[in-house]
Amino acid sequence: MSITSVSGTVPNTDRIEDLPEDGATTPSGIDTAELGAILLGRWPEARKAARERAKDPRFHSQYNQSFQQQRETTFQQLQLLRDAGPAKMGVPDYVGGTLNPGANLSAFEELVLADPSLQIKSGVQWGLFGSAVLNLGTKEHHLRWLPGILDLEIPGVFAMTEIGHGSDVSSIGTTATYLPETDEFEIHTPFKAAWKDYLGNAAVHGKAAAVFAQLIVKGVNHGVHCLYVPLRDDDGNFLPGVGGEDDGRKGGLNGIDNGRLHFDHVRVPRFNLLDRYGAVDENGEYSSPIPSPGRRFFTMIGTLVQGRVSLDGAAVIANQAALSIAVRYAEQRRQFTTDSDIREQTLLDYQRHQRRLIPRIAETYAMTFAHQQLLDKFHEVFSGEDDSDGNRQELETLAAAFKSLSTWSALDTLQEAREACGGAGFMAKNRLVELRADLDVYVTFEGDNTVLLQLVAKRLLNDYSAEFKNADIGVMARYVADRATEAGFNRSGLRKLTQAFSDSGDARKSVNALRDPDAQRALLTDRVQTMVGDVADELRAVARKSRTEQAEAFNRNQHKLIEAARSHGRLLQWEAFTAGLEKVQDPDTKRVLTWLRDLFGLSLIEADLHWYLAYGRLSMRRGRALEEYVNRLIARLRPYSLQLVDSFGLSPELLRAEIGGTVEAERQAEAEEYYRHLRASGDAPVKEAKPAKDPGAQTRGHHA
């Protein structure tokens, strides 16, 4: 029988009319106080204090200026922020700090609610420039420079990226050559592609820079190291040998003065090498506590992971803000009558509108819990609670996975929210457009997202190979057996397949079975394992072939590998959401959040449904029923949408969106009252005849 016949579709009568009721009554609502407290994470006081600060109008974005003016405004705001003192949490006691990395980043992330430019300007100064001195230098460097960095006497530049080498840092062209005759280093830019670029504080304010360069000692290149290099005198003029260009206007973050720098045989004292991981002594001898140049490089780079961690956190907050605005508006805004001639429907009653917003609420909860895990791990490593190699490596993998997923999600969610608010969404006074413009570059800086996912993929492949590194024979057989017996990956977070998922082919039974978290986990895990395994096989097949053939094989699988890494990150988010559920006490809240987690899981499966079908993980029948099932789960969550976004705890002073308040509801009420009065008074004009209600044909939207 042909599949195109009616029976091949999902007939009306075979619909999943009811979601299973969990044997309980419908939750009356969410305990937003309890949930809100959980969402604040491990350092709630730091977050709350930062939110209070973010309400202060002196810290708010000032967009309606030339980019030159914006830079000055932001710099002044940074000085106010310095006086508020949050950066102290990031440094040790001997320079006046408290070294609480988790609290420090919690506060930093919330700054995005005041102004993304201010956030990133402070991130450049204290998070990048300051952290380079802190993490790559020693106590002597800290004592010499950190006080001036903290109090903004030394506005600084983190000079790593070059025009010609953004993602491939190990190939940068700038050199730092040791000169034994004067006991100095000479910093030099040998060609234009080696100019440092996109550097915050470089165009105007920077007085010094942490410059990454190839360290050359006695004719040997010891690889990339970092040096402290003065840039400008007190009048803001470049010092001899230093030059640069202004990057000019950008797509956002125009409060930051990005620019280029180059060096023409600029000399600095030997002391200026930040030498925690690689030093040159007074005899011109190089030494390092890490003998392997590769491992040394990765260790140095790894100390800078906090940028990724905090961008992940800022992206989570941006999602929360976007959905707080769009859901509030969608709850108030009415358009088109459907089942009543008089009262129009709210936007959030429309299925499509629900589809646009509610799965993104689920994703945002997953991101929030995932970020909490990431931040906890960051604190473990950088506070010294657990700074083992394994934990550092897991931190880097999590940061790469979560930062790429969340910063892309922020752009997508801000855009969807803006479109879901129609013309109102495009107005700056409703906040969404400028927030999106500022966050655009978050997907590129601190590691381009596409490259970061390749880092995740590499780790997955490495873990995979480790399983077989002693299996000289019978590798393929073992591989099949491993998959069948559900052995697998553990090391970089790939969870065990807890239960094989078998698809019975009965749509009703088996679609409902997808609400079993073990089934969701099994499906999500299986996809990652299978994809990584497939690529590993292909790469193993060329392992003894030429370098060109190996490179070609890798490139042929690049797309698949990146997709596998993305799916891995999604699985980790799902795991974090599932773990987060355990923190919830209130039973109604827990039930609603469990539905939300299910929606997240099923949305992930829906997004890759082609794969689950093509690889026989789901039957065609279930594949056809899934969309309908997701729709019903969304409809079930619809009544709780407002409470779910209220739990983010973002007050009107933090959202600062006109439509984020009650203005739309008031307008609707006034119009309804007008028509009610008109009907009651008998003055209403008779309609000539009722025009057909055709939402499509009637629309023009708004006009420019």
- Please identify, using beta-carbon distances, which residue of 110 and 664 lies nearer to its own copies: 664
Of the candidates 80, 466, 543, 551, which one interacts with its own copies according to CB under 8 A?
551
Contact present, 372 and 42 (Cβ < 8 Å): yes
The piece of 100-108, 467-475, 639-647, 687-695 that touches its own copies (CB under 8 A) is 687-695
What is the nearest approach in angstroms of its own copies to the Cβ of residue 586?
Answer: 31
Check binding of 226 to its own copies (CB under 8 A). no
The piece of 28-36, 144-152, 366-374, 529-537 that touches its own copies (CB under 8 A) is 529-537
User: What residues between 394 and 423 interact with its own copies by CB under 8 A?
Assistant: 396, 400, 411, 415, 418-419, 422-423
The piece of 103-111, 383-391, 425-433, 646-654 that touches its own copies (CB under 8 A) is 425-433
DSSP 443-507: GTSSS-HHHHHHHHHHHHHHHHHHTTTT--S-HHHHHHHHHHTT----TTS-----S-----S-H
- Please identify, using beta-carbon distances, which residue of 44 and 422 lies nearer to its own copies: 422
User: What residues between 239 and 268 interact with its own copies by CB under 8 A?
Assistant: 247-253, 256, 258
The pair of structure tokens assigned to 411 is 């752009």
CA proximity to 215, closest of 154, 162, 279: 279
Of the candidates 555, 582, 680, 681, which one interacts with its own copies according to CB under 8 A?
555
Of the candidates 51, 71, 222, 371, which one interacts with its own copies according to CB under 8 A?
222
- Please identify, using beta-carbon distances, which residue of 594 and 631 lies nearer to its own copies: 631
**x-marked contacts with its own copies along 596-625 as a string, rule CB under 8 A:** ----------x--xx--xxxxx--x--xx-
Of the candidates 279, 290, 433, 581, which one interacts with its own copies according to CB under 8 A?
433
What is the nearest approach in angstroms of its own copies to the Cβ of residue 37?
Answer: 32
Whole-angstrom distance, CA of residue 605 vs CA of residue 598: 10
Check binding of 126 to its own copies (CB under 8 A). no
- Please identify, using beta-carbon distances, which residue of 33 and 620 lies nearer to its own copies: 620
Query: Which segments within 6-102 are labelled E, that is strand?
Result: none
- Please identify, using beta-carbon distances, which residue of 45 and 168 lies nearer to its own copies: 168
User: What residues between 51 and 110 interact with its own copies by CB under 8 A?
Assistant: 63-67
Contact present, 632 and 605 (Cβ < 8 Å): no
Q: Are strands 196-199 and 184-188 parallel, antiparallel or unpaired?
A: unpaired
Neighbours of 33 (CB within 10 A): 12
Check binding of 169 to its own copies (CB under 8 A). yes
Of the candidates 50, 105, 118, 128, which one interacts with its own copies according to CB under 8 A?
128
What is the nearest approach in angstroms of its own copies to the Cβ of residue 15?
Answer: 9
Question: Would you state the torsion angle of the CA atoms of residues 500, 505, 510, 516, taken in this order, to the nearest 10 degrees?
Answer: 10
Q: Which residues pair with 185 in a beta bridge?
A: 178, 268
Specify whether the backbone of 336 is left (phi greater than 0), alpha (psi in -120 to 50) or beta.
Answer: left
User: What residues between 341 and 360 interact with its own copies by CB under 8 A?
Assistant: 344, 349-352, 355
Question: Would you state the torsion angle of the CA atoms of residues 92, 93, 97, 102, taken in this order, to the nearest 10 degrees?
Answer: 50
What is the nearest approach in angstroms of its own copies to the Cβ of residue 33?
Answer: 33
The piece of 71-79, 143-151, 213-221, 269-277 that touches its own copies (CB under 8 A) is 213-221
- Please identify, using beta-carbon distances, which residue of 356 and 591 lies nearer to its own copies: 356
Contact present, 653 and 418 (Cβ < 8 Å): no
- Please identify, using beta-carbon distances, which residue of 155 and 200 lies nearer to its own copies: 200
Whole-angstrom distance, CA of residue 286 vs CA of residue 297: 15
DSSP 120-147: HHHIIIIIIIHHHHHHHS-HHHHHHHHH
Q: Are strands 259-263 and 196-199 parallel, antiparallel or unpaired?
A: antiparallel
Whole-angstrom distance, CA of residue 593 vs CA of residue 666: 31
The piece of 76-84, 235-243, 587-595, 688-696 that touches its own copies (CB under 8 A) is 688-696
Contact present, 35 and 647 (Cβ < 8 Å): yes
Q: By rule CB under 8 A, what count of residues binds its own copies?
A: 176
Q: Which residues are tagged catalytic?
A: 446
- Please identify, using beta-carbon distances, which residue of 271 and 350 lies nearer to its own copies: 350
Contact present, 67 and 254 (Cβ < 8 Å): yes
What is the nearest approach in angstroms of its own copies to the Cβ of residue 663?
Answer: 9
Of the candidates 72, 183, 376, 534, which one interacts with its own copies according to CB under 8 A?
534
User: What residues between 277 and 336 interact with its own copies by CB under 8 A?
Assistant: 292-294, 297-298, 301, 304, 307, 334-336
CA proximity to 309, closest of 155, 128, 54, 142: 128
- Please identify, using beta-carbon distances, which residue of 249 and 509 lies nearer to its own copies: 249
Contact present, 261 and 244 (Cβ < 8 Å): yes
What is the nearest approach in angstroms of its own copies to the Cβ of residue 502?
Answer: 10
User: What residues between 439 and 498 interact with its own copies by CB under 8 A?
Assistant: 440-441, 443-459, 476, 479-480, 483-484
What is the nearest approach in angstroms of its own copies to the Cβ of residue 447?
Answer: 5
Q: Are strands 208-217 and 175-179 parallel, antiparallel or unpaired?
A: parallel
- Please identify, using beta-carbon distances, which residue of 391 and 668 lies nearer to its own copies: 668
What is the nearest approach in angstroms of its own copies to the Cβ of residue 104?
Answer: 18
Q: Which residues pair with 179 in a beta bridge?
A: 184
- CA angle, corner 70, sides to 66 and 74, nearest 5? 175
Q: Which residues contact 266 (CB under 8 A, 6 or more apart)?
A: 186, 187, 188, 229, 239, 240, 241, 242
What is the nearest approach in angstroms of its own copies to the Cβ of residue 642?
Answer: 19
- Please identify, using beta-carbon distances, which residue of 374 and 443 lies nearer to its own copies: 443
Return the SS3 of 184: strand
The piece of 31-39, 188-196, 380-388, 511-519 that touches its own copies (CB under 8 A) is 188-196
What is the nearest approach in angstroms of its own copies to the Cβ of residue 59?
Answer: 18
What is the nearest approach in angstroms of its own copies to the Cβ of residue 507?
Answer: 11
Q: Which residues pair with 166 in a beta bridge?
A: none
User: What residues between 191 and 210 interact with its own copies by CB under 8 A?
Assistant: 191-194, 197-200
User: What residues between 644 and 683 interact with its own copies by CB under 8 A?
Assistant: 667-668, 670-671, 674
> For 493-619, where are the alpha helices, taking DSSP H only?
507-513, 517-541, 547-556, 558-581, 587-607, 609-614
The pair of structure tokens assigned to 72 is 């000055």
Contact present, 20 and 632 (Cβ < 8 Å): no
